[in-house]
Structure 1
Amino acid sequence: MQSRRDQLVAAVIILPSIVLLGIFVYGFIAQTMRVSMTDWGQEAAMVINPEVNYIGMANYRDLFTGFLNVRFRQDLTNMFFFTLLFVGLSLLVGLLLAVLIDQLVWGETFFRTVFLYPMSLSFVVTGTIWRWLLQPRGGINALSTLVGLPAGKFLWLTSREQTLPFDWSHIFQYFCLGVLIVVAIAAFGHWVRGEKGGLRTKLIICAVLIGTLASGVLTRIKLLPFPEEHGFNKALWGIVLAAVWQMSGYTMALYLAGLRTIPDELREAARVDGASKFQVYRYVDLPLLGPITVSAVVILGHIALKIFDLIFAMAGPDHYPTSVPAITMFLKTFRGNELAVGSAIGVILLILVSFLIIPYLVTSFRSEAR
């Protein structure tokens, strides 16, 4: 056992780090929250001793319901679709690459290095490269001319077309439906694993959500006095393509490491039972890769939620169809001098990332305690 003196020495050694962390991380988070609840706007932003007033949650309310903050609401929509596509495609491409490399007899080191190399680049470098490749009259659109076909005309970064439109006034209904789908998937997982305790809790939550949707309570909540349509901007495809190119190598490395830790005895037992190679991956490998998938989703998800530099480099800060909350936070704070509004957007991003990371940390701590 450690002596009291050793414990004291250890505490003294880590104390400076704890103090610095408390000041420069949690202290600044608290300051940002405080500023977000004031009227520190354009007039007072550059004053040495500004007169600011506490206005509560007014900045947050204006962001979600204010007539002049339509862009922020489209930013949230863009971030939602970007996160789904980026995380989903990165996992899919990474898994396929890992399976292919796992089957290689030779050249594994070479291909692993090739696929991992994009991850070593910064998002600014990646954005600059892909901005050249996605020019309307060159790059990818011009590839078809090499075989005698007409050039492509897809507007990778400049398209203003929208699909999957929805009315922002009904956002609570869509949110409730999304939570219902996630909880239902989690309940199905508990049912497959035979975990009755977790299944019962998830079923109760599903019943409450279904009852809420069926009762029509959410339809009576009016965020806006007018319909406001948002949707998926096709210009996001270029951003998604560049992001997946950079991060799919990371998921490949995770899955490849996971595949190498699965005992060969399990695969041999499946083959003895008559399983094909595909069935071995489907029923043996994939279920055992579940924890790796969860870790990858958390890491990729928080990258997607706070994405800034890739979009800034590819499309610039003023391109509305590809804008995300981090871009608008930058514009509000440093170009518009609206420090309170920018702080409110920063707090919203912190809350969104917390929704993703905190459940993962709680689950991890519980698993370690067992």
Structure 2
Amino acid sequence: MYGRFRTWGPGLLVLLPTIGLLGYFVYGLIGATLNTSLTAQHAARRGSYPYVGFENYANLFAEERFLNSLKNLGVLTVAFIVGTLIFGLLWALLLEKGVPGESIFRSVYLFPMAISMIASGVVWGWLMNPSTGDDARGINRLFHLLHLGFLENSWWSGTSRWTNMLAIALPAIWQLSGYIMALFLAGFRGIPPELREAARVDGASEFKLYRHVLFPQLSPIALSALIILGHMSLKLFDLIYAIAGPSQFRTEVPSVYMWNTLLRSDMAKAAAIAIVLLAVVAVLVIPYVAYTVRQESAER
């Protein structure tokens, strides 16, 4: 027994502070949030509140505003993931060819990541200002100069959920495409040159080389990027808040709705929204973690 402890005991002692902190500040607070969501605590005052079970969740899914926020989140997630993957892969393809000044292009593509979401949201909110006429600014002004008047004011017109959420997704795509580009570029550079040479010797065209040899090698990276982007889109708050503000019903997502609910001191309802978001994130992340563990086990 003592011999076993000498083997794994020192490592456990080193990890104990981290385990304790994670246990309290992550899982302990998740447990407290879950507990609050099952009570009738609709005020910020401390005290004893009766348990109402899943009544708060039932009320949420019967509420039009919450269902609207979920639909907005779905549109935002699809637009954000598709747009970021397309631009990230496109930029990686361009740089993978070894263009002159590659380091400059890499820096330009990655620069938006250095900007905070709040600052980016403020600037993009100004660019998408819906003012018209001689004082039209930002994107509307650009549409006006390009004689694309049918696009003016469509960003915040409220007539289309897709249009409104695409206006939110656009700055997020601009900011995260460089990160996805770096992932794909690292994947391209990690492919052995022998695979390319063997395919060319066998007479494969450039299209078939990428389609049948290179892209399949990038599938693990594409899956990782998909999970990362999906996880980030579900938690977008600061960018949306900076662009649309707290009271934009047509661009509200669950995270913003949770914040607005918390400001009204409805603790139980805000906690229920937080647990719903956690469950959605878990649906994305847990299968990915299980898949990764199986892959690593198979490679050993």
TM-score by length of 2: 0.92
Q: Is the 8 A contact 1:157 1:315 kept in 2?
A: no
Q: Is the 8 A contact 2:128 2:138 kept in 1?
A: yes
**Which one-letter code corresponds to 1:139 in the other structure?**
G
* 1:123 maps to 2:124: no
Q: Percent identity over the alignment? A: 43
Q: What's the counterpart of residue 159 of structure 2?
A: 161
**Residue pairs, 1:250-261, within 5 angstroms:** 250-261=179-190
* 1:355 maps to 2:295: no
Q: Is the 8 A contact 1:155 1:235 kept in 2?
A: no
Work out which of the residue numbers 261, 271, 289 in structure 2 matches 1:332.
261
Q: Is the 8 A contact 1:141 1:152 kept in 2?
A: no
Q: What's the counterpart of residue 111 of structure 1?
A: 105
Q: What's the counterpart of residue 40 of structure 2?
A: 39
Aligned mates of 1:296, 1:81 — CA distance in 2: 18
Residues 29 and 128 of structure 1: CA distance in aligned 2, closer, same or farther (over 3 Å): same
Work out which of the residue numbers 79, 87, 109 in structure 2 matches 1:85.
79
Q: What's the counterpart of residue 56 of structure 2?
A: 59
**Which one-letter code corresponds to 1:24 in the other structure?**
F
Pairwise CA distance, 1:145: 5.2
Aligned mates of 1:127, 1:105 — CA distance in 2: 32
Pairwise CA distance, 1:151: 5.7
Q: Is the 8 A contact 2:143 2:151 kept in 1?
A: no
Aligned mates of 1:288, 1:91 — CA distance in 2: 16
Pairwise CA distance, 1:5: 3.3
Pairwise CA distance, 1:272: 2.2
Q: Is the 8 A contact 2:125 2:243 kept in 1?
A: yes
Aligned mates of 2:156, 2:198 — CA distance in 1: 53
Aligned mates of 1:247, 1:301 — CA distance in 2: 12
Work out which of the residue numbers 223, 230, 236 in structure 1 matches 2:165.
236
Q: What's the counterpart of residue 15 of structure 1?
A: 16
Pairwise CA distance, 1:321: 0.9
**Which one-letter code corresponds to 1:143 in the other structure?**
L
* 1:342 maps to 2:270: yes
**Residue pairs, 1:1-370, within 5 angstroms:** 4-5=5-6, 7-41=8-42, 45-49=43-47, 51-65=48-62, 69-136=63-130, 137-144=136-143, 149=147, 153-155=151-153, 157-162=155-160, 232-334=161-263, 336-370=264-298
Once superposed, what is the RMSD of the aligned Cα atoms?
A: 1.7
**Which one-letter code corresponds to 2:139 in the other structure?**
I
Segments of 5+ residues of structure 1 without an aligned counterpart are 163-231
Q: How many residues align?
A: 291
**Which one-letter code corresponds to 1:13 in the other structure?**
V
**Which one-letter code corresponds to 1:126 in the other structure?**
S
Aligned mates of 1:151, 1:28 — CA distance in 2: 51
Q: Is the 8 A contact 1:332 1:342 kept in 2?
A: yes
Q: Residue 158 of structure 2: SS of its match in structure 1?
A: coil
Q: Residue 157 of structure 2: SS of its match in structure 1?
A: coil
Pairwise CA distance, 1:89: 1.1
TM-score by length of 1: 0.75
Q: Residue 55 of structure 1: SS of its match in structure 2?
A: coil
Q: Residue 235 of structure 1: SS of its match in structure 2?
A: helix
Pairwise CA distance, 1:120: 1.6
Q: Is the 8 A contact 2:235 2:255 kept in 1?
A: yes
Q: What's the counterpart of residue 133 of structure 2?
A: none
Segments of 5+ residues of structure 2 without an aligned counterpart are 131-135
**Which one-letter code corresponds to 2:266 in the other structure?**
E
Pairwise CA distance, 1:6: 5.7
Q: Residue 234 of structure 1: SS of its match in structure 2?
A: helix
